[in-house]
Amino acid sequence: MSRLLSVYNRLHGYPLGNYIFSRIICLVAPYFKTIKPRFIELRPGYCEITMKNRRAVRNHLKSVHAIAMCNLCELAGGTALDVTLPDHLRWIPRGMQVEYIKIARSDLRGTCSISEAKLEAGTMPVTISVMDMQCAEVMKANIIMHITERKDK
């Protein structure tokens, strides 16, 4: 089990556990603090995170900014992959393709599902879906992840 998943599992059962875990992630990777993510579920092969529609993530049209949604996608995809990969592998994003489907005017939920079948060194696409509170998909992202052997293992 990954260290990240171990921390999540320890905190998840407590009343503020998901909040505390989300804050820890933002301490480790400070840029994600800009969207104030809240982890809802994390397990091998799956990650679900929410973010609030608040002034700091809005554009001039008063909708959620595209890059804030990209940030949510990278966090969901990267975290899902991190807790799914065997310990001897690591990842880094190589590129992202996004499709903006609908204007986002509510809080958002980003989800990522990864098949555990083909986890090996190389390049792997990871798909993330961003939904609004009415369960309408507002954005879809495909992140190309580069997976390599850890040097320290």
Structure tokens at 66: 């595209």
C-alpha span between 130 and 49 (Å, rounded): 9
Max CA-CA distance within the chain? 48
The answer on pLDDT for 118 being more than 80 is no
Residues in CB range of 6: below 8 A, 6 or more apart: none
pLDDT in tens, 36-75: 999 999 999 999 999 999 999 999 999 999 999 999 999 9
Mean pLDDT over each residue of the chain, to the nearest integer: 95
The answer to whether residue 153 scores a pLDDT higher than 70 is no
pLDDT band (50, 70, 90) for residue 1: confident
The pLDDT of residue 126 is 96
Query: Which CATH fold topology does 3-149 show?
Result: Thiol Ester Dehydrase; Chain A (3.10.129)
Q: What's the pLDDT at 119?
A: 85
Q: How far apart are CA 126 and CA 113, in angstroms?
A: 8
pLDDT of 151: 85
Helix (H) / strand (E) element for 24: namely helix 17-28
Whether the Cβ atoms of residue 117 and residue 147 lie closer than 8 Å to each other: no
Considering only CA atoms, which of 97, 99, 150, 149 is closest in space to residue 125?
97
pLDDT band at 120 (very low <50, low <70, confident <90, very high): confident
pLDDT digits (tens, 9 = 90+) for 85-113: 998 899 999 999 999 999 999 999 999 99
